[in-house]
Structure 1
Amino acid sequence: MSSKITPVVMCGGAGTRLWPVSRDTMPKQFIPLLGQESTFQRAMRLVSDASVFAPAIVITNAEYRFTVQEQLLAIGIFAQIVLEPMRRDSAAAVAAATELALARDEKAVVGIFAADHVVQDGKLFVETCRKAAVVAAQGRIVTIGIPPTHPATGYGYIRPGEEIGDGARQVAAFVEKPDAHHAAQCLLDGYLWNSGNFIFDAATMRSELEAFDPDVLEPVAEAVAQAKPDLDFLLLDAASFGQAKKISIDYAVMERTQKAAVVAGSFGWSDVGGWSAVWDLSEKDATGNVIDGRGYVLDGVNNLVRSDAALVAVIGLDDVAVIATRDAVLVTPKTKADKVKDMVALITSNGEAEAGAHREIQRPWGKYLSIDMGARHQVKRITVKPGGVLSLQKHYHRAEHWVVVRGTAEVTRNDEAIVVHENESIYLPIGCVHRMGNPGKIPLELIEVQVGSYLGEDDIVRIEDIYRRI
């Protein structure tokens, strides 16, 4: 292998299988499910070995861009953050990654990795990638197959074909997620799980996209050519990108190409596809219970109890998952945890906001937590990072009262500039133009009380914004 792998980490999705912790406003890849770091941060550490990998590309969307940036800063890893203007499925993202990598190096080898998977043996993962890259450099698209440990029905499978050298085999067939009977047969026949991670020669991928789905490649190539810097991000051109065909890379290329190969990876892989998988991967006590947060189990074994806020007590139950957040509680047998996605669909169909939104919302300047809401009032706890500045804005339907409980706020109110210290407050009448920033070195915390006839977030009229959200 003459060049390093250009790792591309895909983190624009919003999964529901780990609801209520994972939601659209903060999906599972950014949540510390196992230990103190998110699966996205763990993935970035895996591809940071400079002897094998070039600087990474992260593909996400505008909604998650500041979360990506903040989590990268927290672990001290640099990456080029590329923003999709809208979701067009994985083929468009792979096409964009291919064009960006070829702009760096016409002989680039690219690795596509998911941000929400977990690898237990990082060294073996890197070595597997190195082997796959040698094969990819010969003009192949190499998928990483996982030797199955049980007849799983939640994964697609790969039927390996003839050996082609360097530890790789041709892909004889891709198999869609099977039923239990066929999954057991796949296990007996030596099939591999399809991890969805793959490594390819960029020029080969471009030619295959051009042959099989030019309706993906051509508009995406134009979107990359017309991309513009946006703060510290690269924003793909929306008009061009929006013309790309919406299709997965599996259907667009992988199941049609004759250049697919597979390398087996025995590095302890999981897509963390549900709460049962979280229990499997977690450290357990003597009774097999996993407790994360304020949880207690009495007369029960092999349970998963996770609470971000409320105290959770479980008595006399075995093999259940109890997941509690500030505004939602999930209780399910671990064997039925794959039904969580169906439950979210049911909740969504009934118009429940908790299906997709957390009460705590991340913003580029910090975060806010909705504490209480009534017909004409809402109470929030707002945290502003040192140096963070909210947009210059006004509201047509509400007034606000701010009470500083920690730190110092620098407030603009119409033509006034006011410094508000701890245990001081300020009133912002309806229609006034206002802004708040944290000039200090510690987080600014305040309680905001909104009063008015309409309290929706779309009653924010932004006039100026350093984060370019106008």
Structure 2
Amino acid sequence: MPSKIIPVVMCGGAGTRLWPVSRDSMPKQFIPLLGQDSTFQRAMRLVSDPSVFEPAIVITNTEYRFTVQEQLQALGITAQIVLEPSRRDSAAAVAAATELALARDPKAVVGVFAADHVVQEAGLFVEACRKAGVAAADGRIVTIGIPPTHPATGYGYIRPGDEIGEDARQVAAFVEKPDAARAAQYLLDGYFWNSGNFIFDAVTMQAELAAFAPEVAAPVAEAVAAARTDLGFLRLDENAFGAAQKISIDYAVMERTSKAAVVPGRFGWSDVGGWSAVWDLAEKDASGNVVEGRGYVLEGSGNLIRSEEALVALIGLDDVAVIATRDAVLVTPRAKADKVKEMVALITAAGESEAGAHREIQRPWGKYLSIDMGARHQVKRITVKPGGVLSLQKHHHRAEHWVVVRGTAEVTRNDETIMVHENESIYLPIGCVHRMANPGKIPLELIEVQVGSYLGEDDIIRIEDIYKRV
């Protein structure tokens, strides 16, 4: 292969099809759905073979930047993390990746991969990428086509054309999602599913974007040229990037270019598009049940139970999914699991915060979990990573009590610095300027009790912040 592939992993999106586990505040790509790793971490492992891939570029947004950083650190993988200032769909992200890759190597071959897909055979995936890379180096934009296992109506399809190289063929046509009868015919005619993962010659992609989508190419090139480094992240210029047309790479380039090719991906692929797909991929017991967490099934088969805390008991039901988080429960026949997105829209319209936000919220310094709330009080369980530092802040409407249950807290309160140890507490009156840090080697855990007339997160007045959130 003339060049190694620069992998670009796209993980800025937020999905609702795996609600209530996946929400805007922590979408599915960062959640361990199968095993210990998140799908983002699984994707990063796949593209870390140094014989085929260069160091990766990860494209995300400001909200998820520290989650990306933390999950990469857990794997011991380094990558360039690029922050989109706004969501402009996939064409803008691909354009940014293309410009960054060309800055690294004028002959770059780039692979764009989704962070929320699952691949079962890593070796076969790498081999498919190698073949696609060979075709891409010839001036092609090569999509990874998945040989269908059933007549799915939820995927776009690819009609392959003439052979052009090792296991590579021209793309005769991209086809929109079909009805059931047409999907069955596509299966017989040798069509592929469009996985949305593709590998391309960067010079070719740059030229095709300029030809077919100049309203994307020009502002994104400007956004990359004016990008700045911030805490190790590369921030694209907000004004320039925001001027880019919001359009998918499929519509902008893939369905219009004459340079599209397809290489089959026979590596066991799923986009994990819903809870039925999770059941398909997971290990099952003798009755075909999948149970994660505290779940029990009596006289039932083909069920999926996933519970974070509550004990879930199922009697006499078959092919049902029960998904229980701390604050929401989904119960659906697996065959109706594709309706979850519609249910989330219904819940969102009703103004329920659980549609998009978890009770446990990730922060760059750690996380907090709201465990009780009343009209004038809220109780949180706070965990601060070793070395983590909360912002220097104050509140106009609430006082806080902190009780340390594990580790040691270094607390700033106005002009004082106080070390608070396990089973000790400290009071922070309304209006005092305060900060907390974990100077120790283990996670700091404490209970925070807030009391006041207004308890919203927007009553945090940040004065200083090492994570630059001021």
- Which bracket does the TM-score occupy, shorter chain normalised? over 0.9
* Aligned counterpart, 1:13: 13
Write the letter of the residue equivalent to 2:267.
F
Alignment partners' CA distance in 1, 2:86 and 2:70: 21
SS at structure 2 position matched to 1:128: helix
* Aligned counterpart, 1:38: 38
* Aligned counterpart, 1:56: 56
* Aligned counterpart, 2:452: 452
Q: CA deviation at 1:219?
A: 0.5
Write the letter of the residue equivalent to 1:191.
Y
* Aligned counterpart, 2:290: 290
* Aligned counterpart, 1:210: 210
Q: CA deviation at 1:177?
A: 1.1
* Aligned counterpart, 2:230: 230
Structure 1 runs, 4 residues or longer, greater than 3 Å off: none
**Aligned positions of 1:293-442 closer than 5 A:** 293-442=293-442
Q: CA deviation at 1:410?
A: 0.3
Q: CA deviation at 1:164?
A: 1.3
Deviates more, 1:175-184 or 1:202-211: 175-184
Alignment partners' CA distance in 1, 2:467 and 2:235: 14
Alignment partners' CA distance in 2, 1:51 and 1:209: 29
* Aligned counterpart, 1:241: 241
Q: CA deviation at 1:182?
A: 1.3
SS at structure 2 position matched to 1:82: strand
* Aligned counterpart, 1:201: 201
User: Taking structure 1 as the reference length, what is the TM-score of the superposition?
Assistant: 0.99
* Aligned counterpart, 2:257: 257
* Aligned counterpart, 1:47: 47
1:270-293 CA distance string (max 9 Å, x none): 000000000000000000000000
Write the letter of the residue equivalent to 1:350.
A
* Aligned counterpart, 2:116: 116
* Aligned counterpart, 2:273: 273
Q: CA deviation at 1:26?
A: 0.5
**Aligned positions of 1:41-120 closer than 5 A:** 41-120=41-120
Alignment partners' CA distance in 2, 1:395 and 1:220: 40
Alignment partners' CA distance in 2, 1:261 and 1:204: 13
Alignment partners' CA distance in 1, 2:39 and 2:226: 31
SS at structure 1 position matched to 2:133: helix
Write the letter of the residue equivalent to 2:315.
I
SS at structure 1 position matched to 2:134: helix
Alignment partners' CA distance in 1, 2:315 and 2:37: 30
* Aligned counterpart, 2:467: 467
Alignment partners' CA distance in 2, 1:181 and 1:467: 54
SS at structure 1 position matched to 2:410: strand
* Aligned counterpart, 1:182: 182
SS at structure 2 position matched to 1:338: helix
Write the letter of the residue equivalent to 1:257.
T
SS at structure 2 position matched to 1:91: helix
1:401-428 CA distance string (max 9 Å, x none): 1111111000001111111111111111
Tell me if 1:166 matches 2:153.
no
Q: CA deviation at 1:161?
A: 1.1
Alignment partners' CA distance in 2, 1:163 and 1:31: 39
Q: CA deviation at 1:240?
A: 0.7
Alignment partners' CA distance in 1, 2:2 and 2:256: 28
Tell me if 1:126 matches 2:126.
yes
Write the letter of the residue equivalent to 1:229.
T
Alignment partners' CA distance in 2, 1:352 and 1:424: 37
Deviates more, 1:64-73 or 1:167-176: 167-176
SS at structure 1 position matched to 2:308: strand
* Aligned counterpart, 2:140: 140
Q: CA deviation at 1:3?
A: 1.2
SS at structure 1 position matched to 2:311: strand
SS at structure 2 position matched to 1:310: coil
Q: CA deviation at 1:456?
A: 0.8
Alignment partners' CA distance in 1, 2:115 and 2:399: 41
1:327-371 CA distance string (max 9 Å, x none): 000000000000000000000000000000000000010000000
Q: CA RMSD in A?
A: 0.6
Write the letter of the residue equivalent to 2:222.
E
Write the letter of the residue equivalent to 1:145.
G
Q: CA deviation at 1:15?
A: 0.4
Q: CA deviation at 1:184?
A: 1.0
Percent identity over paired residues: 85
Deviates more, 1:118-127 or 1:158-167: 158-167
SS at structure 2 position matched to 1:102: helix
Write the letter of the residue equivalent to 1:237.
D
User: Taking structure 2 as the reference length, what is the TM-score of the superposition?
Assistant: 0.99
Write the letter of the residue equivalent to 1:432.
C
Q: CA deviation at 1:163?
A: 1.3
1:195-218 CA distance string (max 9 Å, x none): 000000000000000000111010
Q: CA deviation at 1:183?
A: 1.1
Write the letter of the residue equivalent to 1:338.
D
Alignment partners' CA distance in 2, 1:182 and 1:342: 25
Q: CA deviation at 1:2?
A: 1.6
Alignment partners' CA distance in 1, 2:154 and 2:15: 15
Q: CA deviation at 1:453?
A: 1.1
Write the letter of the residue equivalent to 1:277.
A
1:193-251 CA distance string (max 9 Å, x none): 00000000000000000000111010100110010000011110101111111000000
Write the letter of the residue equivalent to 1:408.
T
SS at structure 2 position matched to 1:263: strand
Alignment partners' CA distance in 2, 1:132 and 1:2: 12
